[in-house]
Structure 1
Amino acid sequence: MKNLLIEQLDEYSRFAVNHILKRFPQWENHLIVDQPEGYEKPYAVFELPCSSPAVKQGLWVATFGMEITVGSHTHHTHFKLHPFSS
């Protein structure tokens, strides 16, 4: 089933998801494919729970916009993961 979800993604998101899952295979169960209205292709989001009730949202990693966005609670940052870098 997850393979079917991954096939829906754009080329960059497929690359990023495969790269992320090689490093964190246990995250596969936290993969969500999201396609907001008006967007041509869906992107991947990994949403990992947080055990603290004080934190509104735990760790999340998204592949939107040809970059990796990593966030937790109310903060996030962006990274470029290039398909041709090692």
Structure 2
Amino acid sequence: MVNILAVGIANTMAAQTATARMLFSMSRDGILPKIFSKIHPKFKPPYVGAVIIGITWLIIGLAIGYFKSNGYKEVPEVFKNPH
């Protein structure tokens, strides 16, 4: 069980890092706003994208957990694919 948890955490961190770096490169190329191209002055990762991604997934995770804990059988229509 601990191994499964460790692998899940590692995969989540890898996905968040890859997404933050993708947002960084898209911002650097002018596709996204320049705020995503900011890097940390000491450690040099693209921290703005990582923070935004973390907050976004936290909100989505809490919302899904809230709806599931209140007896909903499915995720609300807001979170479903419109197509």
TM-score by length of 1: 0.27
Larger radius of gyration: 2
Q: Which protein is richer in helix relative to its size? A: 2
Q: Which protein is richer in strand relative to its size? A: 1
